[in-house]
Amino acid sequence: MGNSIIIMAIPTIHIKRAYTPASQKDGWRILVDRLWPRGVKNETAEYNDWFKVIAPSTQLRKAFGHKAENWPEFRKNYKRN
């Protein structure tokens, strides 16, 4: 018998804001946040999964504070968790 080679495609991951409407090109949509987005009804949400366990902790999110200058520290600490 000969050796078989199995080639698997690595999926491309695209990042969108939770409030950005879904498009047909999105594929599988995963919400990665510890909190459900404000104003988004569970019944009408366009997410296939919700992975809150891999989202940054509340403490880490607050330390980041949506400030670009905090990004390097946030990234380092997020990878560590």
Mean pLDDT by 10 residues, the chain (81 residues): 79 88 91 92 91 92 93 89 63
Note the pLDDT of residue 70. 94
Contacts of 58 (CB under 8 A, 6+ apart): 34
CA dihedral 36, 40, 44, 46 (to 10 degrees): -60
Helix H or strand E segment including 60: helix 58-64
